[in-house]
Chains A and B, each alone.
Chain A
Amino acid sequence: MATRTIQGQKNLQNINQASKDGIGGSPLRPDGNLKVRGEFAYSSDLWHEDMLWGMALRSPHPRANILSVDISEALKVPGVYAVLTHEDIPGSKYYGLEIRDQPVLAIDKIRYHGEAIALVAADHPETARRAVKKIKVEYEVLTPIVTEEQCLDPETHGYVHEPHEYKSHAYGNICHEQKLVSGLGVTDEVRAMADVIVSGDYEVGMQDQAFLGPESGLAVPAEDGGIDLYIATQWLHVDREQMAPVLDLPEEKVRLTLAGVGGAFGGREDISMQIHACLLAQHTDKPVKIVYSRDESFYGHVHRHPARMHYEHGATRDGKLVFADCRIVLDGGAYASASPAVVGNAASLGHGPYVIPNVKMHAIALYSNNPSCGAMRGFGAVQAAFGYESQMDKLAAELGMDPVELRQLNAMSEGDFMPTGQQIDSPAPVVELLQRAKDMPLPPPLDTEHLDVRALPGALSNTSHGEGIVRGVGYSVGIKNVGFSEGFDDYSTARVRLEVIGGEPVAMVHTAMAEVGQGGVTVHAQIVRTELGVEQVTIHPANTEVGSAGSTSASRQTYMTGGAVKLAAEAVGRALIEKGRRRYGWTHQDITLAGGKVVSESAGVLVPMVDLLGDEAIDLTREHHHRPTQAFDKETGQGFGHVQYTFCANRAVVDVDVELGLVKVVELTAVQDVGKALNPLSVVGQIQGGCTQALGLAVMEEIIVRDGKVRNASFTDYLIPTILDTPPIPVDVLELPDPHAPYGLRGVGEAPTVSATPSIVAAIRNATGLALNRIPVRPEHLTTEQPG
């Protein structure tokens, strides 16, 4: 075949024009319209002929000894195929994300309200529900260990896990701890160096991820004795790693395919019904579907750690920070989940994006009989940000300084050191982010002439026609890490295949990345368009046939799996050009791929890809590893612990009905550096979503637990913001490239969730003059529960 060369600059210009749907463009999500129309298939919509329905019996008590379990009556219910307890588990009886301390089904002991004890498989969910009610469990109910004081005094109150059962470095109901000292630490001499010292005790309630798609999936037994699981999760491979030993199968016989995910936010990082469905499928040799009901979902996944924090900051009279001392106590609940990593984040990020010469930190996660807590958007950085940002406002007030100026005076920038000793080696525009947030025009004051009740606190509940309304403005800034830290190699794998389909070059991207709404499926196609110069890109269903993509968490997927897609696409591109060189003997040094063609800058189009490929495909897989990190020293917290840092600043404007304690957030501005916006529309969406979740934590979202029991396991009483609670969120995006990251990008999803909450609380303080040391701020905190 002869080389067809189209000569002429004009043609080349057209061809070389980057695809508008490549990186930097904003193609729409492939699943967007389906979701809006209600046509998207979620994991709860899965169906298989002859399938059974699985259901779990859960404990009504937070702490108890199980004296006996009698399944005989349940087994007699017509339509019931199996009733399983831990005794029926073929392999290991424990699993866990970081520490395998959680029984698949309770063994002799109950450690939290809602712990699964037994499983039923039946031909109909109603049958399963009835059978579950027929399982008889005799409990010896024990007083739950639920407060910090109780947890830290095991001699008196007992152990959640007996010390001989500890699977890691736990001791005395402390699941994990991290200390940190930098500079001179915080001693009496250091304290004496400060002109002003402010301290405070802060509390964060238990937030839930509140995803709308309940935990669900379908396990199908395979002929080879293995199992296929269709599942909504955040990390297929880590699920498999925990599942295989329990099912007593080699990993390759446990095959997972991602099903439609209805939100995640960290709540799907842990195993929920995966193992249960597979055990039932193994046992009955039939496909088994499990879908949690809404209340079961609240029991069935981990939450954000509630926190109690003590902060002390010292500064000179002109506002320079001298020291910071902090103790963070996170309630990890019954099982470890991600507690160790959350503690690591709280400790290492817990002083915020500030340069502080002398630092002390002690962060712990407790074992308790409260619900287990683990990953949630912001991961340990959220709680701490409420502490340190509250402190910054307190310090500014004490010094009579402007709160933004105080922050800017102490803000870190590139080249500065974290309290862990890690140097910030990419842009850290904290000063500028704050300045931009401050410089944005303020929304107009409340229009008392033409009142629209919908714009007031209480809205259509008609509580005010302007009475009692006071406006407040607050600022905050936060820091979050991107990617897994402390020496963990959370690499990602991607496979890219290029071939001719229907007379066009088409690329396919295959990864195990869980698309949970972050937009990876859009971004992967954009990367391939840019790297390979083809328009048609398809996304293969995510499954375990390809290597791990790591977790969709820690703001890492675009960086990590996006990075892997870039590597694989580049490799395919090189292979394609190499093929051309071999076939046509090209010697050009300026070959690129564009517009579906192989192009030389100097010689023009060398060959259409279609001709070069013929009926061969190029199919290559690559792994992307970020630069290595180090564990933190247990005592000093020193170490090159994090892959990348990300910063967001916010300004909140609120109207508070100070008589009724009702709050309306009027506007929530966000300014964030994203390195490079691969898809600007998605980036803004992530920032607005992150801000909204932060707003929820500031003023309404809390799982209320009393004596270890969850009191509001439903969306009737676990409130998340509605559109009337969600203000306009102007977003200002900076793109300062990080030289260590693919395309210079910076993970986006979590930083606003870390930073926005404190700005809202600061604005409410500004309106009311109240201290507000606990979030979520409730109406009674602004009214009847205030001293005086």
Chain B
Amino acid sequence: MEFLRPATWDEALAAKAEYPTALPIAGGTDVMVELNFDVHRPSAILDLNRVTELTEWTNDGSVVRLGASVPYARIISELSGPLPGLALAAHTVGSPQIRNRGGVGGNLGAASPAGDSHPALLAAGRDVHVEAASVRGTRLIPIDEFYVGVKRNCLEADELIRAVHVPVADGPQQFSKIGTRNAMVIAVCAFGFALHPKNGTVGTGIGSAAPTPRRAVEAEEYLQGVLAERGLWESGELLGTEVVQRFGELVKAAASPIDDVRGTADYRRHALAVMARRTLTWCWNDYGKQIRSAA
């Protein structure tokens, strides 16, 4: 097995172009487990740990460009202001050791439907993009289009993830995850929710309840409609149980879960509805408070 250790991003891209089957390794928290369990025997490994740009982030005030290898621990400590949903999701990943090593690039690379970044990224707005690069150039892939199947993403063989672009939160965001223990657990299902008052939209993301992470589009449209029609963005008034309930039902309907060792499809649907109701309520209560205190 070849072990490639590029020192710079350009070298990394060149190496990936030369060895398209090389398996990138960032924190290694997925890769090493799979090697250990003999899931694959890659012909080459491309170690990205010397490429320091990948562990940096920038914030231009409207968008955070989050380097692929910024570990979860730093997302929590440095970015919970601009990216509250992702930071909450990061909190739920593994254990302190895993959060020190693992990052969003690896989560996207693995593209597991149970990855915890995904619901938060999906909910964070329409302008979330994965910045993928190769010697051929750079493209910004809308997050919705990134996941294409169970543990499959739309990267080309010669591409690497450079960063994710996530709009700075302009409203409350929440993330909830179900696990059968209280820490260090892979999601039975998860839900991300965000309010985007600036453009009058809401964001949702469902994890572990379909072949890929996905948005609950009808639920978003329903809620956006209600918020606009009733002038709730302006008033910040309570939504009422009917709206909350309906939103939960639509989120539930958007999922297509299976029965597996972690839980049943029925439970996943049920729990998504509960999490959808709760996260919406938390976000809306916060938003209402903001409106009232601004008034």
Q: Which one, A129, A699, A779, contacts B263 given CB within 8 A? A: A779
B271 interface hit (Cβ, 8 Å)? yes
A711 interface hit (Cβ, 8 Å)? yes
Bound Cα distance from A724 to B92, whole angstroms: 12
- Asked if B182 contacts A664 (CB within 8 A), the reply is yes
- In the complex, per-residue mask of B111-133: 1 if CB is within 8 Å of any chain A CB, else 0: 00000000000000000000000
Q: Which one, A293, A700, A723, A779, contacts B267 given CB within 8 A? A: A779
Chain A residue with the shortest CB-CB distance to B281:
A467
- Which of A33-41, A398-406, A455-463, A743-751 contacts its partner? A455-463
Bound Cα distance from A711 to B263, whole angstroms: 13
Q: Which one, B176, B182, B262, contacts A722 given CB within 8 A? A: B182
Q: Which one, B88, B95, B175, B262, contacts A717 given CB within 8 A? A: B262
List residues of chain A with CB within 8 A of the CB of B36.
Answer: 293-294
- Asked if B91 contacts A783 (CB within 8 A), the reply is no
List residues of chain A with CB within 8 A of the CB of B278.
Answer: 463-465, 467
Chain A residue with the shortest CB-CB distance to B183:
A724
- Asked if B37 contacts A714 (CB within 8 A), the reply is yes
Q: How far is the CB of A327 from chain B (nearest CB, A)?
A: 29
- Asked if A722 contacts B267 (CB within 8 A), the reply is no
- In the complex, per-residue mask of A717-732: 1 if CB is within 8 Å of any chain B CB, else 0: 1010111110000000
List residues of chain B with CB within 8 A of the CB of A463.
Answer: 176-178, 275, 278
- Which of B147-155, B184-192, B197-205, B223-231 contacts its partner? B184-192
- In the complex, per-residue mask of A650-664: 1 if CB is within 8 Å of any chain B CB, else 0: 000000000111101
Q: How far is the CB of A409 from chain B (nearest CB, A)?
A: 37
Of listed A463, A468, A783, residue having the most chain B CB within 10 A: A463
- Asked if B270 contacts A783 (CB within 8 A), the reply is yes
Chain B residue with the shortest CB-CB distance to A781:
B267
Bound Cα distance from A659 to B180, whole angstroms: 14
Chain A residue with the shortest CB-CB distance to B278:
A467
Q: Which one, A129, A293, A464, A722, contacts B181 given CB within 8 A? A: A722
A590 interface hit (Cβ, 8 Å)? no
- Asked if B176 contacts A462 (CB within 8 A), the reply is yes
List residues of chain B with CB within 8 A of the CB of A711.
Answer: 261
- In the complex, per-residue mask of A171-195: 1 if CB is within 8 Å of any chain B CB, else 0: 0000000000000000000000000
List residues of chain A with CB within 8 A of the CB of B57.
Answer: none
Chain A residue with the shortest CB-CB distance to B116:
A461
List residues of chain B with CB within 8 A of the CB of A721.
Answer: 181
List residues of chain A with CB within 8 A of the CB of B184.
Answer: 722
Q: Given A463-B278, A784-B266, A784-B270, are A779 and B188 also a contact pair (CB < 8 Å)?
A: yes
Interface residues of B in 264-294 (CB under 8 A from A): 264, 266-267, 270-271, 274-275, 278, 282
List residues of chain B with CB within 8 A of the CB of A716.
Answer: 186
B174 interface hit (Cβ, 8 Å)? yes
List residues of chain A with CB within 8 A of the CB of B91.
Answer: 460, 462
Bound Cα distance from A711 to B274, whole angstroms: 28
Q: How far is the CB of B26 from chain A (nearest CB, A)?
A: 19
Bound Cα distance from A459 to B183, whole angstroms: 7
Q: Given A457-B182, A461-B182, A467-B278, are A783 and B176 also a contact pair (CB < 8 Å)?
A: no
- Asked if B182 contacts A459 (CB within 8 A), the reply is yes
List residues of chain B with CB within 8 A of the CB of A100.
Answer: none
Tally of chain B residues near chain A (CB < 8 A): 33
Q: How far is the CB of A457 from chain B (nearest CB, A)?
A: 7
- In the complex, per-residue mask of B58-95: 1 if CB is within 8 Å of any chain A CB, else 0: 00000000000000000000000000000010011001
- Asked if A780 contacts B182 (CB within 8 A), the reply is no
List residues of chain B with CB within 8 A of the CB of A462.
Answer: 88, 91-92, 174-177
List residues of chain A with CB within 8 A of the CB of B171.
Answer: none
Bound Cα distance from A660 to B282, whole angstroms: 17
B142 interface hit (Cβ, 8 Å)? no
Q: Which one, B92, B180, B262, contacts A460 given CB within 8 A? A: B92
Chain A residue with the shortest CB-CB distance to B1:
A126
List residues of chain B with CB within 8 A of the CB of A464.
Answer: 278
List residues of chain B with CB within 8 A of the CB of A129.
Answer: 38
B6 interface hit (Cβ, 8 Å)? no
Bound Cα distance from A714 to B261, whole angstroms: 12
- Asked if B177 contacts A700 (CB within 8 A), the reply is no
Bound Cα distance from A293 to B282, whole angstroms: 44
Bound Cα distance from A301 to B184, whole angstroms: 25
- Asked if B92 contacts A704 (CB within 8 A), the reply is no
- Asked if B182 contacts A785 (CB within 8 A), the reply is no
Bound Cα distance from A517 to B117, whole angstroms: 39
- Asked if B181 contacts A465 (CB within 8 A), the reply is no
Bound Cα distance from A106 to B263, whole angstroms: 34
Of listed B266, B274, B282, residue having the most chain A CB within 10 A: B274
Bound Cα distance from A660 to B273, whole angstroms: 10
List residues of chain B with CB within 8 A of the CB of A699.
Answer: 180-181
- Asked if B88 contacts A704 (CB within 8 A), the reply is no
A635 interface hit (Cβ, 8 Å)? no
List residues of chain B with CB within 8 A of the CB of A778.
Answer: 180, 263
Chain B residue with the shortest CB-CB distance to A703:
B261
Bound Cα distance from A784 to B178, whole angstroms: 14
A712 interface hit (Cβ, 8 Å)? yes
Chain A residue with the shortest CB-CB distance to B260:
A711
Bound Cα distance from A460 to B92, whole angstroms: 6
Q: Which one, A293, A467, A725, contacts B183 given CB within 8 A? A: A725
- In the complex, per-residue mask of A624-663: 1 if CB is within 8 Å of any chain B CB, else 0: 0000000000000000000000000000000000011110
- Asked if B261 contacts A717 (CB within 8 A), the reply is yes
Q: How far is the CB of B40 from chain A (nearest CB, A)?
A: 13
B236 interface hit (Cβ, 8 Å)? no
Bound Cα distance from A208 to B178, whole angstroms: 23
B28 interface hit (Cβ, 8 Å)? no
Q: How far is the CB of A448 from chain B (nearest CB, A)?
A: 15
- Asked if A719 contacts B178 (CB within 8 A), the reply is no
Bound Cα distance from A604 to B18, whole angstroms: 87
Q: How far is the CB of A273 from chain B (nearest CB, A)?
A: 18
A735 interface hit (Cβ, 8 Å)? no
- Asked if A725 contacts B267 (CB within 8 A), the reply is no
- Asked if A458 contacts B178 (CB within 8 A), the reply is yes
Chain B residue with the shortest CB-CB distance to A130:
B41
List residues of chain A with CB within 8 A of the CB of B178.
Answer: 458, 461, 463, 660, 662, 779
Bound Cα distance from A699 to B182, whole angstroms: 11
Q: Which 4 A-B pairs have the closest CB atoms?
A: A780-B267, A459-B182, A724-B183, A461-B177
Known: A460-B92, A462-B91. 5 other contacts (CB 8 A): A293-B37, A459-B182, A462-B88, A723-B183, A784-B266
Q: What are 25 of the A-B contact pairs (CB < 8 Å)?
A: A295-B37, A458-B177, A459-B183, A460-B183, A461-B177, A461-B178, A461-B179, A461-B185, A462-B88, A462-B177, A463-B278, A465-B278, A660-B274, A662-B178, A699-B180, A699-B181, A712-B261, A714-B37, A723-B183, A725-B182, A778-B180, A779-B271, A780-B264, A783-B267, A784-B264
